[in-house]
């Protein structure tokens, strides 16, 4: 028995690809909106993080 035959037995299985596509689309839409609206000064600070000397970690 092929795998596709198992999927045919599940009621409403056709909605799962649409839900996955919707989640994928919404995630990247939110990410795009965040990238456009984020403070450019904050992005500049994040760009410099790998170049800054290490600071001592005071956490225990």
Task: Return the pLDDT at 20.
Answer: 94
Residue 40: inside a domain, yes or no?
Answer: yes
**For the chain, what is the domain count?**
1
Give CA–CA dist 17/29, Å, rounded: 18
Q: Is the pLDDT of residue 36 over 60?
A: yes
Q: Is the pLDDT of residue 58 over 70?
A: no
Task: Return the pLDDT at 5.
Answer: 75
Task: Return the pLDDT at 24.
Answer: 97
Between 25 and 59, residue with greater pLDDT: 25
Q: Is the pLDDT of residue 47 over 90?
A: no
Residue 41: CB partners within 8 Å, gap ≥ 6? none
Residue 10: inside a domain, yes or no?
Answer: no
Give CA–CA dist 36/40, Å, rounded: 9
Residue 5: inside a domain, yes or no?
Answer: no
If you write DSSP's letter for every residue of 37-50 in order, what string do you get? HS-HHHHHHHHHGG
Task: Return the pLDDT at 28.
Answer: 97
Query: Would you say 7 and 13 are in contact if contact means Cβ atoms under 8 Å apart?
Result: yes
Could you tell me the pTM of the whole model?
0.57
| Residue-range definition of the domain harbouring residue 36 | 24-48
């Amino acid at each position: 028995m092929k795998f596709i035959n198992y999927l045919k037995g599940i009621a409403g299985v056709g909605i799962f690809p649409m839900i996955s596509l919707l989640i994928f689309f919404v995630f990247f839409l939110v990410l795009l909106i965040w990238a456009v609206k984020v403070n450019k000064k904050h992005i500049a600070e994040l760009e410099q993080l790998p170049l800054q000397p290490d600071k001592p970690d005071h956490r225990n």
